[in-house]
Amino acid sequence: MRRLPAYRLMEFRRTMTSYSTVETSKQVLLSTFEHNLPVLPEVRANVNCVEFTTDSDQPLIPIALKAHESFAALKALEGIIAVTLCKKRFGDDKDIKALVNCNHAALFPAMSFLSTVDGMPKWDPEMKQKIKDTDLNQVYSNIYRRMLTSIYRTKDGRFYHLHASLDATPTFQALGLPSYDEEKNEKARAQRAIETITQQLTSDVIDSMIRDIKQAGSPCLTREEFLDSSHGKHISKYIPALKLSPQGPNILSGVKVLDLTRVIAGPVITRTLAEYGAQVMRITNHNLPDQSYYAVDFNFGKRTIDLDLKSPEGRKVFEKLLEDVDVIVDGYRPGAIARLGYGPDDLLKRFAGARGFVYVKESCYGEGGEWSDRPGWQQIADSVSGVSWANGQALGLEEPVPPPFPLADFGAGELGCIATLNALHHRLVKGGSYYTSVSLVKYNDWLMSLGPYPKQLWKTMAKAHGLEDSLKLSHQSNFDEVGLTAITSIQQLYPHLQEDPELMQEATHTHFGAVKTQSPVVRIEPYKTATKGWLNVTRPAGYDLPTGWAVELQ
C-alpha cells in the first residue's frame, strides 16, 4: 500500500481535533452500567478508578463503527473488576488505579497482525519452519479450500458467507464441488468456481443446506434484518445471568484455569486471565485440527498439554486436573464438552457443593435463541449481525465487506475475561459456582448499538486510510486482505505505535524464536498484573508433560 504523504497525515489530525476517543470511551463505559450489568455494588463503586490515556484522539481502526472505543471501554471494565478483586485481597484502603491507553486497547484485536517472530510477521513464508503445522485438513495452506471462507452472491441477489471451518470438505461436497481442485488453486479462479454454484441457489437454500450438514455459514443480513429475526430479538435483549489464595503477588495468584479452546476468542479469554497471574493449562489434541499460527500470541502465560478426552488415559489425567480447577473455559461447538461428560451440569454434580467453580462458555451465537446450536466463526458473526453490510455501505458499496481484524473474536474474548473476573469476584464474596456465556454475535450486536461515527469524521478517516477508492475492497475481499490493508494503513499513519515499549514487548527465548507481541493493555497500579504480564513465555500446543498443577510455570 502506498505511503501517505505528510500533508495528508497533518490534515487528518487537524480535522479530527474536535473528536475525543477518550471522552467517547468514557461514555461507552458508563453506558454499560446502565443496562443491568450483573456486578456487585463494590464494582460500581470503583468506576472512577480507571484512568484513560492516549497520545492522539483519532480512532485507529478503519471502520465506521466505534470499535476503537468499544475495546477501550471493555478494557476499562476489566480494570474496574480487577481493581475490586485487588482491594478485596490486599485491602480496601489501598489507592489502586487501572490505567488504559485507548490506542493500546484499539490495537488489541489487531494483535496477530502486529506480532513478529525473529522480526518476521507471521504471514512470512519462512514462518512455516517455526510453527508446527496443525492445519490437518489444509483449509489455510490450500488456496482453493481457503477461498471457501468468503462472501458469495446468491441466486436471489443476496450474499452468503461460507466458511471452511477447520475442514472444508463437507461444505464442498454439499455444493457439489470437488474437495480439492489443483487447477483452481488460485484466489480468483477458486472464487469464480464457488460463486458459479452459489448463484444457482438462493440464500435460504444454501443456509438450509449448511445447517443440515452442521457446518458454519450465514446469510449477510443488514442490522434491521438481524434485529427482525427471532435470534436477533433474543440476543439484543440477552444478559447472561472463588476463594483465592491469600498469597500474592498477583490478583489471580492461586487461580487454576483449564483452557478448552481453539483459534481466537477462547484463547483470548485465558491469555488475559494469565496477565493477572492465573495458572492456565491449555488442553489440545493432536488428532484435532487447529490453527497453530495463533499459538504464538495466545499461549503466553500458559502450560500446554496434549490430551485425548475420549481415551481412558486422557480422561484420567483430565479428571485429576478437575479436582483443583477454579475456572473452565469451553470454546468448542455447543454441547461438545457436555457430551464427554464435563459440561457445567456434570461438574455441579461432581463437586456437589464441596467447592465452587466458574464455567465460561464461548460461542458464536450465544445462549438460547433459534441459532444457538449452530457452529460459527468470526466472519459468520459479522455477516449475520449486520457488521459486514454496515462496513460495505460505509465504504460506498452496495455489498457486504468483512470488517478489518477479528473484532468479534477479540470482543467476545474480552467479554469472556470480564465475565470470568466478575464471577470470581462473586465467588470470593458470596461463594458458590457460576456459569456464564459470551458470544461473538453478542459483541457485534453491542458494537452496532453504539452507532457509527459522525459522517464527516468517517469521511476524513476513510480518506486518510486510503479507502475512498471503492474498488479497493469488495465482498470477495477475505479476512487476510482486509486485515493487511488496515494494519498497513495504521502503521503508516501511526508508525510510533509498534515501537512503543509500553504497547509491545519481546520474549527473546521461546520455542518459536524471539516473539514480539502486545503487552497487557490494562495496567493495575501499584499491583502490576505480573512481571511484564505473564508467568511464562509462549509455547506451542502440547509442549508440556501432563504432570498436573504442581509444576510451577517457567
* Secondary structure of residue 518 in the 3-state scheme: strand
Residues 6+ apart with CB under 8 A from 80: 43, 46, 47, 49, 50, 98
The answer to whether position 167 is within a domain reads yes
Residues 6+ apart with CB under 8 A from 169: 137, 179
What is the model's pLDDT at position 3? Answer: 33
d(CA 60, CA 489): 9
The answer to whether position 279 is within a domain reads no
The answer to whether position 217 is within a domain reads yes
Residues 6+ apart with CB under 8 A from 18: none
Residues 6+ apart with CB under 8 A from 313: none
* Secondary structure of residue 52 in the 3-state scheme: strand
- Which residues of the chain have a pLDDT value below 50? 1-16, 241-246, 530-531, 552-554
The answer to whether position 25 is within a domain reads no
Overall domain count for the chain: 1
What is the model's pLDDT at position 2? Answer: 30
- pTM value is 0.89
Spell out a b/e string for 287-323, using b for 16 or more CB atoms within 10 Å of the CB, else e. eebbbbbbbbbbbbbbbbbbbbbeeeebbebbeebbe
CB 442 within 8 A of CB 412: yes
The answer to whether position 233 is within a domain reads yes
CB 440 within 8 A of CB 378: yes
Q: Helix %, strand %, coil % for the chain, to 5?
A: 45, 15, 45
Measured in degrees and rounded to the nearest 5, phi and psi for residue 53 equal: -135, 160
What is the model's pLDDT at position 36? Answer: 73
The answer to whether position 210 is within a domain reads yes
d(CA 38, CA 534): 28
> Rounded to the nearest 10 degrees, what angle do helices 407-430 and 67-90 cross at?
20
The answer to whether position 215 is within a domain reads yes
What is the model's pLDDT at position 530? Answer: 46
Closest C-alpha to 62, from 469, 340, 383: 469
Partnered with residue 361 across adjacent β-strands are 330, 437
Q: What CATH number does residue 183 fall under?
A: 3.30.1540.10
Residues 6+ apart with CB under 8 A from 7: none
Partnered with residue 282 across adjacent β-strands are 259, 304
What is the model's pLDDT at position 92? Answer: 67
Partnered with residue 260 across adjacent β-strands are 330
Range of the domain at 164: 131-237
What is the model's pLDDT at position 96? Answer: 86
The answer to whether position 124 is within a domain reads no
Residues 6+ apart with CB under 8 A from 232: 225, 226, 385, 445
Side-chain half-sphere of 421: how many Cα atoms within 13 Å? 31
d(CA 3, CA 349): 60
